[in-house]
């Protein structure tokens, strides 16, 4: 049985006071980490403060991106060793917004996955198709390509601890959600791909999230599906009450 994982992605929202207020309000209301992994991926400048607030609670803190080098002349970037030095637990890698607006390549994402692992940071690796690709029947080919490239060169033992987030780009921030059946189909396809590449144990243990307009109203149906182990949530993770409802639903599904 895979433990559900709900990760909020705050993207470039919230000022400092709002971020602190949110974390202080939720920290003692997070369901037990035995039942669900509850994560907030915040803007980099808030991470040390949020990690402090979350210490000794069941809330985990993640970054939204990082470089793959540990140090160097890379103005504006944050490194894996820097994130590890402030005890960040997770990092989102290859989000479609990073791929589209910041030219992030599959090769760079693959290096970032390796860097995250070597620092004990769990990568949440994003994949997903555009509306054009969906309409052209290319969803499966697209996610297989992205997942294969992101996981290239790793061992089964490493892959099983990773998280993959299937996020159809047309469903992000649009209010359009993939049907639970469609989302489950693609997540199942990703699991099958992991199995072909890394074997049965990795496929069985890797957690696969769905992302794209996930809300308290649709989380239960999504989580009831065999291959959906959680959600990567944008908009609905910004409000305390909706974030907590998502966690509650996941903890009851565990
Ligand atoms: O990382 C989160 C996704 O981009 C989904 O965002 P959304 O829940 O606002 O559609």
Residue pair 35/253 in contact by the 8 Å Cβ criterion: no
The answer to whether the CB of 219 is under 6 A from ligand 1 is: no
Q: What is the ipTM of this complex?
A: 0.99
CA–CA separation, 239 vs 164, rounded Å?
24
Residue 177 has pLDDT above 90, yes or no: no
Residue nearest to atom 7 of ligand 1 (CA): 234
Per-domain boundaries in the chain: 5-252
243 CA from centroid of ligand 1 (Å): 13
Whole-angstrom CA distances from 2 to 26, 92, 209, 233, 247 are 24, 20, 11, 19, 15
Atom of ligand 1 lying closest to residue 235 CA: 9
Does the global pTM surpass 0.80?
A: yes
- Out of 3.30.450.20, 3.40.718.10, 3.20.20.70, 1.20.1050.10, select the CATH number for domain 5-252: 3.20.20.70
What whole-number distance in Å separates Cα of residue 247 and Cα of residue 239?
A: 12
Asked whether residue 190 carries a pLDDT value surpassing 80, the answer given is yes
* Active-site hit among 97, 129, 133, 167: 167
Judge contact between 34 and 247, C-beta under 8 A. Answer: no
Q: Is 172 in the pocket of ligand 1 (CB under 6 A)?
A: yes
**For 89-132, how does the pLDDT look when each residue is reduced to its tens digit (9 = 90+)?**
999 999 999 999 999 999 999 999 999 999 999 999 999 999 99
> What integer pLDDT is reported at residue 1 of this predicted model?
83
Per-residue model confidence (pLDDT) at position 224: 96
Phi and psi, residue 184, nearest 5°: -65, -40
What percent of the chain shows pLDDT beyond 90?
A: 96
The answer to whether the annotation marks 235 as part of a ligand binding site is yes
Q: What is the pLDDT of residues 194-234, one digit of tens each?
A: 999 999 999 999 999 999 999 999 999 999 999 999 999 99
Q: Which residues, other chains included, contact 141 with Cβ-Cβ below 8 Å and sequence gap of 6+?
A: none
Active site residue 167: yes
pLDDT at 49: 98
Residue (of 62, 193, 173) closest to 119 by Cα position: 62
């Amino acid at each position: 049985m895979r433990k559900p994982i709900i990760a909020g992605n705050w993207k470039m929202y919230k000022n400092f006071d709002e971020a602190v207020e949110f974390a202080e309000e939720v920290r003692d209301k997070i369901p037990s980490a035995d039942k669900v992994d509850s994560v907030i991926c915040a803007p980099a400048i808030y991470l040390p403060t949020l990690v402090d607030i979350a210490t000794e609670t069941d809330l985990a803190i993640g970054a939204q991106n990082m470089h793959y080098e540990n140090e160097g002349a890379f103005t504006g970037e944050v490194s894996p060793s820097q994130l590890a030095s402030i005890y960040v637990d997770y990092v989102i890698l290859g989000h479609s917004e990073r791929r589209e607006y910041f030219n992030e390549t599959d090769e760079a994402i693959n290096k970032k996955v390796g860097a995250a692992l070597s620092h004990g940071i769990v990568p949440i690796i994003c994949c997903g198709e555009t509306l054009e690709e969906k309409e052209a029947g290319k969803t499966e080919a697209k996610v297989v390509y992205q997942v294969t490239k992101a996981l290239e060169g790793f061992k089964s033992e490493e892959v099983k601890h990773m998280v993959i987030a299937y996020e159809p780009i047309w469903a992000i921030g649009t209010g359009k959600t993939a049907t639970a059946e469609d989302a489950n189909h693609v997540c199942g396809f990703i699991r099958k791909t992991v199995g072909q590449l890394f074997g049965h144990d990795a496929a069985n243990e890797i957690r696969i999230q769905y992302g794209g307009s996930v809300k308290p109203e649709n989380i239960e149906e999504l989580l009831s599906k065999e291959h959906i182990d959680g959600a990567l949530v944008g908009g609905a993770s910004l409000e305390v009450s909706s974030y907590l409802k998502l966690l509650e639903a996941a903890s009851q599904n565990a």
